[in-house]
């Protein structure tokens, strides 16, 4: 069978490596959001499918027999659509979704549902560190009276969209000590993150806890009604059963 792995997360890289090692017939798909993504170990296509029709056409032309969706927990459009199309075509579909973060002792988290809800928490003159990436930056347009720092992987291709902000280029992993030093250096008052989950990117939350920095935690979007596992190992079991 040809297995389509929708990539775009750390789990996808690990899954692809294991699938390649097992010699399975698989193709990975990247959205093309990162300019220089790490190379994957199976044949990889890059870029959107061209909407739902394009996706349906691709599934047929590539003779895809099952789909594992290992995209980021906040990539809800591709996840919703893939789950729906696969259900429609009776194509086996599995989402790999790592557990979300839960606060621990010493954490000061406030949960919000949307980026736009952050503004009332921030006082004039404060410094806000966005660990949310550049794609959703424009949703923070109402953060007007503070300083905004937005970290992104690729160097910016244009100016910061608001007068009160700046980009900071950085490629993970970010060790806790480095995050702590960075937040201190920038005098960060608020950290805003998406509840992506996973140990590697939890380091910024540990640094915030140690420095007493409050966190605005953006809740995950709703997930489709579909088969779901939390780990790569469980995804490999699901694949093996097919």
Ligand X SMILES: NC(=O)c1ccc[n+]([C@@H]2O[C@H](COP(=O)([O-])OP(=O)(O)OC[C@H]3O[C@@H](n4cnc5c(N)ncnc54)[C@H](OP(=O)(O)O)[C@@H]3O)[C@@H](O)[C@H]2O)c1
Minimum distance of ligand X from residue 225's CB (angstroms): 17
> Which residue of 8, 131, 165, 197 would you call a contact of ligand X, by CB under 6 A?
8
Class of residue 16 by CB neighbours under 10 A (exposed 0-12, middle 13-18, buried 19+)? buried
Can residue 135 be called a binding residue for ligand X (CB under 6 A)? yes
Minimum distance of ligand X from residue 105's CB (angstroms): 27
The two three-digit tokens of residue 151, written as one number:
């970290």
Minimum distance of ligand X from residue 232's CB (angstroms): 15
Residue among 74 and 121 whose Cβ is closer to ligand X: 74
> Which residue of 10, 68, 72, 129 would you call a contact of ligand X, by CB under 6 A?
72
Residue among 135 and 187 whose Cβ is closer to ligand X: 135
Can residue 49 be called a binding residue for ligand X (CB under 6 A)? yes
b/e 159-179 (16+ beta carbons within 10 angstroms → b): eeebeebebeeeeeebeeeeb
Number of alpha carbons in the 13 Å side-chain half-sphere of residue 96: 28
Phi-psi region of 32 (alpha: psi -120 to 50; beta: other; left: phi over 0): left
Binding-site string for ligand X from residue 89 to residue 128, where x marks contact by CB under 6 A and - marks none: ----------------------------------------
Q: Strand, coil or helix: what is 118?
A: helix
| Cis omega (within 30 of 0) for bond into 173 | yes
Can residue 156 be called a binding residue for ligand X (CB under 6 A)? no
Q: Could you tell me if 97 and 68 are in contact, meaning their C-beta atoms sit under 8 angstroms apart?
A: no
Phi, psi of 229 (to 5 degrees): -130, 165
Residue among 48 and 159 whose Cβ is closer to ligand X: 48
Specify the stretch interacting with ligand X by CB under 6 A; choose among 1-9, 140-148, 176-184, 214-222.
Answer: 1-9
50 vs 163: CA distance, rounded Å: 34
Can residue 223 be called a binding residue for ligand X (CB under 6 A)? no
Residues in a beta bridge with 94 = 68
Can residue 51 be called a binding residue for ligand X (CB under 6 A)? yes
Residue among 180 and 239 whose Cβ is closer to ligand X: 239
Residue among 64 and 180 whose Cβ is closer to ligand X: 64
Interface residues with ligand X (CB under 6 A)?
6-9, 29-31, 33, 48-51, 54-55, 71-72, 74-78, 133, 135, 194
């Amino acid at each position: 069978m040809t297995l389509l792995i929708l990539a775009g997360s750390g789990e996808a890289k690990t899954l692809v490596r294991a699938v390649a090692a097992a010699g399975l017939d698989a193709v990975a798909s990247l959205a093309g959001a990162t300019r220089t993504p790490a190379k994957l170990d199976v044949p990889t296509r890059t870029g959107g499918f061209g909407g739902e029709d394009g996706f349906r056409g691709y599934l047929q032309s590539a003779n895809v027999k099952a789909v594992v969706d290992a995209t980021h927990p906040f990539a809800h459009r591709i996840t919703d659509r893939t789950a729906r199309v696969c259900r429609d075509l009776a194509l086996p579909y599995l989402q790999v979704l790592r557990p979300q973060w839960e606060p621990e002792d010493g954490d000061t988290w406030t949960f919000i549902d949307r980026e736009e809800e952050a503004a009332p928490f921030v006082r004039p003159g404060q410094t806000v560190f966005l660990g949310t990436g550049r794609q959703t930056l424009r949703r923070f347009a109402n953060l007007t009276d503070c300083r905004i720092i937005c970290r992104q992987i690729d160097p910016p291709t244009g100016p910061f969209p608001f007068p009160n902000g700046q980009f900071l280029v950085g490629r993970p992993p970010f060790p806790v000590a480095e995050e702590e030093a960075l937040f201190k250096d920038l005098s960060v008052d608020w950290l805003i993150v998406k509840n992506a989950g996973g140990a590697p990117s939890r380091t910024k939350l540990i640094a915030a806890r140690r420095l007493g920095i409050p966190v605005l935690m953006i809740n995950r979007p709703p997930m489709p009604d579909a088969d779901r596992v939390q780990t790569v190992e469980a995804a490999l079991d699901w694949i093996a059963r097919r």
